[in-house]
Amino acid sequence: MMAVTDDPAALDVVTAGHQLRSGALTSVALTEACLAHIASRNDELRAFITVTADSARAAAADADRELASGLDRGPLHGVPISLKDLIDQQGVPTTAASRVRGYQPAPSDALVTSRLKAAGAVLIGKTNLHEFAFGTTSGVSAFGAVRNPIDVSRSAGGSSGGSAVSVVTGMAIATIGTDTGGSIRVPAAACGIVGLKPGFGEVPRDGVVPLSTTFDHVGPLARSVADAAAVYGVLARRAVRPPAIRPLEGMRLRRLGGYMEALLEPGVRTVYEQTLERLRGGGAIITTAELPHAEEIASIYLVISLAEGAAYHAKTLQQCPELYDPSVRLRVEQGRYILAEDYLRALAGCQVIREEVSAALANVEALILPGSAIAAPRLDQETITIDGAELPVRGLMLRLSQPFNLSGHPALVMPCGTTKEHLPVSLQLVGQRSNTRALLDVGATIEAAIR
């Protein structure tokens, strides 16, 4: 964690923006502060694969000149942002944390990268991840396992683990990740920051290495809901006003029970229940619902993601299978055996889950559930015992996030407390499809209530 509270790299986007405009801070100073954190801790934490220090310094100097001349490109102008290394930035390699892609520079910017540049963001580097996003721990990467700064023996979550670490440690002020089954929300939860998976299709994926085209989303990880909203506005190219904090009194929320609460680590369950109690105490009206087909979610996800992943990787699986990490290769290979009729049944299942999530949202402002069923696991941990049952870490980490990749609804995680071991626990809010803005308002209200 960051040790110095007056460090500019500890500022959130909104506060940094005020200081950049008032002249209390320059983008060059802010960028240097982030680069200093990278220099001091990246070897240990392996958050970044590539640091673009020279181009970041040049962009920061440009931002300072523009702001001084009165040209204001918006809330990210002059703010250091990191990019998950699945997202193309012209002239910089996109490795996907794999030896398969080599270290060749991307020929052009991803659409989200060009939007960030146009918004004046300072792109500070490309962050580490689970190879090709095919995992939840960020423990498998050609550039070494990402370590959680809260406890370096633990996973930072994944697959956008390096992205989350870059924000927690002040290596960047915010970051861009991708989320196929939870890869923004899982690391945000493991590291105790905010993560937003926007609604499906809201943020373009052109120039982003895919995992599963049915489920892939691009979105921000940040230090507050307001920061996530600012970055989301740029990524989705929408005029997003700062989220409105409303009275909690009378806010209607619906808790997802049944499957969604059946398997929670005891420490997570305790903090989650305490958080719900605080919200009720503040006047929120919390009812309960279940998704009737929740038990089928993991099967739907497995079949679609493996089949689509295998389709993307078919050529390199033939040409250079030895360049994949063995665990990732095995997962990708499995997808080659999926039958078309099962894939189609799974696609039909997505529609069923989408309708059930929409039905659960009827007459409430958001669904509420834990951000993750477990706190950050140890990097070498493959199973966790809950209520006497030994369960795979991977399934537990995805369990509460993947439903909304199937359904396409926007989902937001934010920290709500810590376990006895001082590991972050998160809350997840799910909003109406195509109304991510309203979800951000609910999120900001709840963030203010539980802070």
Partner 1 sequence: MAEDPILEQWRRWAVGDAKRRELAEMASGLELVAKAATRLRAASWVPDAARPEATTSADDGRY
Q: Is residue 217 within 8 Å of 230, Cβ to Cβ?
A: no
The gap between the terminal CA atoms of the chain, to the nearest Å, is: 18
Select from 293, 311, 316, 378 the one that contacts partner 1 (CB under 8 A): 293
Q: State in angstroms the smallest separation of the CB of 391 from partner 1.
A: 13
Q: State in angstroms the smallest separation of the CB of 392 from partner 1.
A: 10
Indicate the length of the chain as a whole number. 451
Phi, psi of 257 (to 5 degrees): -105, -155
Q: State in angstroms the smallest separation of the CB of 321 from partner 1.
A: 9
- Decide if residue 63 touches partner 1 (CB under 8 A): no
- Candidates 243, 184, 226; CA nearest to 76 is 226
Q: State in angstroms the smallest separation of the CB of 319 from partner 1.
A: 15
Q: Pattern of binders to partner 1 over 299-318, x per CB under 8 A?
A: xx-xx--x------------
- Decide if residue 298 touches partner 1 (CB under 8 A): yes
Residue for token digits 């962050």? 127
Catalytic residue among 141, 159, 212, 372: 159
Catalytic residue among 84, 160, 163, 166: 84
- Site size with partner 1, rule: CB under 8 A: 24
Residue 213 in tokens: 């085209």
Residue for token digits 């040209």? 71
Q: Which is nearer to partner 1, 276 or 352 (CB)?
A: 352
Q: State in angstroms the smallest separation of the CB of 394 from partner 1.
A: 11
Q: Which is nearer to partner 1, 53 or 347 (CB)?
A: 347
User: What are the distances in angstroms from CA 95 to CA 24, 87, 89?
Assistant: 37, 9, 11
Q: Which is nearer to partner 1, 39 or 330 (CB)?
A: 330
Active site residue 159: yes
Q: State in angstroms the smallest separation of the CB of 352 from partner 1.
A: 5
Q: Which is nearer to partner 1, 7 or 333 (CB)?
A: 333
Cα separation of 313 and 321, whole Å? 10
Q: Pattern of binders to partner 1 over 72-101, x per CB under 8 A?
A: ------------------------------
Within residues 317-376, the interface with partner 1 by CB under 8 A covers 326, 330-331, 333-334, 337-339, 342, 345-346, 348-349, 351-352
Cα separation of 40 and 355, whole Å? 48
User: What are the distances in angstroms from CA 254 to CA 135, 196, 270, 358, 364?
Assistant: 30, 19, 18, 12, 6
Give DSSP secondary structure letters for 38-61.
HHHHHHHH--EEEE-HHHHHHHHH
Cα separation of 124 and 115, whole Å? 15
Q: Name the segment binding partner 1 (CB under 8 A); options: 50-58, 115-123, 134-142, 293-301.
A: 293-301
Q: Which is nearer to partner 1, 262 or 330 (CB)?
A: 330
Own/partner pairs, 331-334, CB within 8 angstroms, 24+ separation: 331/134, 331/135, 331/306, 332/132, 332/134, 332/306, 334/306, 334/310
For 127-156, give one letter per residue: b (16+ CB within 10 A) or e. Answer: bbbbbbbbbbbbbbbbbebbbbbbbeebbb
- Decide if residue 446 touches partner 1 (CB under 8 A): no
Catalytic residue among 155, 166, 183, 212: 183
Q: Which is nearer to partner 1, 108 or 351 (CB)?
A: 351
Q: State in angstroms the smallest separation of the CB of 348 from partner 1.
A: 5
Q: Which is nearer to partner 1, 124 or 302 (CB)?
A: 302
Q: State in angstroms the smallest separation of the CB of 181 from partner 1.
A: 14
Q: Name the segment binding partner 1 (CB under 8 A); options: 93-101, 164-172, 259-267, 297-305.
A: 297-305
Active site residue 84: yes
User: What are the distances in angstroms from CA 286 to CA 21, 68, 116, 251?
Assistant: 41, 48, 38, 8
> Residue 225, Cα to own-chain centre: how many angstroms?
13
Within residues 37-56, the interface with partner 1 by CB under 8 A covers none
Q: Which amino acid is at 157?
A: G
Q: Which amino acid is at 269?
A: R
Q: Which is nearer to partner 1, 288 or 327 (CB)?
A: 327
Q: Name the segment binding partner 1 (CB under 8 A); options: 23-31, 98-106, 244-252, 296-304.
A: 296-304
Tell me which residues touch partner 1 (CB under 8 A). Answer: 293, 295-296, 298-300, 302-303, 306, 326, 330-331, 333-334, 337-339, 342, 345-346, 348-349, 351-352
List, by residue number, the catalytic residues: 84, 159, 183
